[in-house]
Each structure stands twice: as C-alpha cells, then as structure tokens.
Amino acid sequence: MTPFSRVTARDVMRTDLVTLSPDDTIEDAVASLSDAGISGAPVMRADGRLIGALTLTDIAQPGHTDRDRIHTQPGEEVRVVTTSVEADEFEEEEELASKEDYSPEVLGETLVSEWMSNAVVAVSPDASLRTVCRSLVDGGVHRAFVTDRGKLVGVVSAMDIIRLFAERH
C-alpha cells in the first residue's frame, strides 16, 4: 500500500468522466448530473478543451431556483417554516438536482455556458495528494480536474480523497 505521502492525483482520480458542452441546456445538464449521481462536471469545447465547470451549487443559485414560489388561494395565509435535519437524513445533491425546483423556461432555454464557472482547479497526474488538497482548499472547490499536456484525463473530488482515507483506516 502506497503511503499517503506518495499518493498522487493519478492514484485517486476517476477517469469515467461525465462532461458537458457549453451549448447543453441546464435541463440536460441536471439530467446528466442526476443520472451519474455526481454534483458537478467539466465543461468542454468541441475541440476537447476544458473551459469551465458546472456544479449543483452553480445551478442552485438563489436567482435560478423556483422553490420559494408558493401558490395559494386568495385569502390564504402561508407561513414557511425551515427546520434543521441531521446530515444523514438529507441528501443535498438529490434535493438540488430536482428538476421540479426550476421553471420549464429556465431548464429548457438556459445554456450551461450561462451558469458555469470559468475558473477551475487543474492539477497534473503526478501532483501529490497534498498538492491536490491544497488546490481544492485554495480554490474553494470540491473537485480538481486532472490534465496532462492540456488534455483532461480525470477528476479528483473531495469525496474521492475522503474515500481513500476511510478505506485505509
């Protein structure tokens, strides 16, 4: 077993990537993320160049969701109560990826290019696990894209790193 100090991005990265096009609709992107059970994906140009990322956090920005809209009958009073739940009772990704939270107009007409983040964290396959972790923290993101000579070859998410630690202890 490789000691943690010698683990590289190549050792942890996933290569079965879901990618999005800047011309995909948000509806298609939400479906792709939901089907794959992931919370974000790289956005690639037709020539294979990495140009950004779209995450559930990008999608769930307050101006994008329809979840605060409450329909009532005339004269009805509505009170919204927010409750706290234990982390293991709430699947945030499932909640954020629900198409029902977005208006059909937003889902079908808005393009990935309009909501994606242009700033991404990229590391080389030989980057140490420490470098990957530092890059995630410094970038304030949950995934680093692994590139080799400008080509996307994998992704390392915070969950991949947590899984590695959990499997070894």
**pLDDT band, residue 52 (cuts 50/70/90):** very high
The pTM of the full predicted model, rounded to 2 decimals, is 0.73
pLDDT in tens, 4-27: 789 999 999 999 999 999 999 998
Answer yes or no: is pLDDT of 67 > 70.
no
- What's the CATH code of the domain at 141? 3.10.580.10
Predicted pLDDT of residue 102? 52
Residue-range definition of the domain harbouring residue 62: 4-168
In terms of Cα–Cα distance, which of 7, 8, 31, 15 is closest to 102? Answer: 31
Token pair in block for residue 101: 């939270």
The separation between the first and the last C-alpha atoms of the chain, rounded to the nearest angstrom, is 12
DSSP states of 28-88? HHHHHHHHHT-SEEEEE-TTS-EEEEEEHHHHT-TTT--TT-----TT-----------GG
Number of domains in the chain: 1
Task: List pLDDT tens digits, range 69-100.
Answer: 333 344 444 333 434 444 444 344 444 445 55
Which tens digit of pLDDT belongs to each residue from 100-111? 555 555 556 789
Q: Read off the pLDDT of residues 140-169 as tens digits, 9 standing for 90 and up.
A: 999 999 999 889 999 999 999 999 989 887
- % of the chain exceeding 90 in pLDDT: 55
At 28, phi and psi to the nearest 5? -65, -40
